[in-house]
Structure 1
Amino acid sequence: MRLHRTTRTFAAAVLGVALTGLGIGVAGPASADDDPDNGIDVSVTIEPATTPGQVSMTVADNGGVSLQEDGSNATARQFVGTLPTVTVTDTRRPEEIPAGDFWAVVGQAAEFTATGGSAPPIGPQYLGWRPRLLSDTSTGAVSAGEPVSSVISDGTGAPAVGLQGQELLVSTANSADEIGTWQVNADLALRTPVDVAAGEYHSTVTLSLFNQS
């Protein structure tokens, strides 16, 4: 499996403006009709791209996700939020995609640890998500991952396994239709026992892009 990472760069161009002083006569530019022999032909030959395409992933700029309590009941305390938008871009040409090739974005949560170690940690099995494909597509070549619930079930029928190596976005095998740009996010839900210790907890969700062929 190969993990691809990309970075974004920005370039700025500055346009210089020339000013002329008052009282100075400036000759106007000659038009093409005045002297047609002075026209300059500009041409370029662009050869087919030779740099291989690739599958890459970026995560929208964010300051982290702060989960807020919503939906708690007698069974569990629940805290919800939204994962930042994740973008996967496949720039390969059809002939570059091996037979049976597919890629997937996989999420893994670390345990939630209390600031200062004042309370026992909350394991990743208590964090669930519901991926949502944001790209407008009808090919079915790329789809959002299946939802998973905390081990304290949310009652939706989603597997109660927690966020432990779950797919966020996945392409189908051997399909040139996967070429393009795809965006996804996910609703997050941390469901803990009702007697969870009070405190400020922090976790990290790691997203990895795997390309398997």
Structure 2
Amino acid sequence: MKSTRTTQLLAASVLGLALAGAGVAGPAAAADDPGTGIDVSVKIEPTTTPGQVSMTVADNNGVALQENGSDATARQFVGTLPTVTVTDTRQPEDIPAGEFWAVVGQASQFVAADDPAKTIGPQYLGWKPRLLSGSSTGAVAAGEPVSSVISDGTGAPQVGLEGQELLVSTANSADEIGTSQVNADLALRTSTDVAAGEYHSTLTLSLFNQS
């Protein structure tokens, strides 16, 4: 309401000035020449948002590993990583030659809730990435499986989750564009004499853009 009143006051001031001038010069003749009109134009370009590479993780309450596949050499606890989605909305001409991206996973040490002195290192956690959707040209691929330092018998490198690739792209910018999804089978393999308890670790996923 305050802004409306202000507008009205400004209009009244203009009108008062026009009336004061009328007593001196007399009424002005109305212009009837249509050629005096002025065309006012503006070209408004569509709003554009620069393309980017982004990563999201499906809503989840964490992953509770369950014992499955234990044997005489190790106790094994398995689960499934929530779906990870990478979306590239860039134009091919906006991607430098030779550039690629990668999603890398890093697990922290498992720490027992009842005793911080009881731990299980990230080298005991392995995964097998699984591509759910991606380029039909093979421009995006799931990372290589890795095993716990206690072998799972598959022949996968026994290095654990200490900076391992979950999803990677090639350097072909035209084929990278789009959406790719991946998850992974997780497997924690420990010694058979591992101390009982509820352990917690944080698995950090990071998207790196590299050239």
- Structure-1-length-normalised TM-score: 0.76
Identify the residue that residue 206 of structure 2 maps to in structure 1: 208
Give the drift of 1:49. Answer: 6.0
Aligned position for 1:71:
69
Distance 1:72 1:87 in 2: 31
1:174 corresponds to? 172
Q: Which amino acid aligns with 1:212?
A: Q
Matches within 5 A, 1:126-141: 126-135=124-133, 137-141=135-139
- Equivalent pair of 2:134/2:140 in contact (CA under 8 Å): no
Q: Equivalent residue for 1:113?
A: 111
Tell me the equivalent position of 2:141: 143
Q: Does 1:194 align with 2:192?
A: yes
| RMSD (Å), alpha carbons | 1.6
Contact 1:52 1:96 in 2 (8 A): no
**Higher helix proportion (structure 1 or 2):** 2
Q: Which runs of 5+ in 1 are unaligned?
A: 1-44
Alpha-carbon distance between aligned partners in 2 of 1:65 and 1:165, rounded to the nearest angstrom: 19
| Ranges in structure 2 where 5+ consecutive residues have no aligned partner | 1-42
Aligned to 2:23: none
The structure with the largest alpha-carbon Rg is 2
Change in Cα spacing, 1:98 to 1:162, as seen in structure 2 (3 Å) is same
Distance 1:192 1:121 in 2: 11
1:155 to 1:75, Cα distance in 2 relative to 1, 3 A: same
Q: How many residues align?
A: 169
Q: Please say which of residues 121-130 and 46-55 is displaced more in the overlay.
A: 46-55
Q: 1:100 to 1:77 in 2, by over 3 A?
A: same
1:162 aligned onto 2:160: yes
- In 1: Cα distance, 2:50 partner to 2:158 partner: 41
Bigger drift between 189-198 and 116-125 goes to 116-125
User: Percent same amino acid among aligned pairs?
Assistant: 83
Q: In structure 2, do the counterparts of structure 1 residues 181 and 49 end up closer, same or farther at CA, with 3 Å as the change threshold?
A: farther
1:81 aligned to 79, 82, 106, which one? 79
1:95 alignment partner, SS class:
helix
- What's the TM-score, normalizing by structure 2? 0.77
- Deviation by residue 1:101-126 (Cα, 9 ceiling, x = unmatched): 00000000001000121652000000
Whole-angstrom distance in 2 between the partners of 1:157 and 1:171: 24
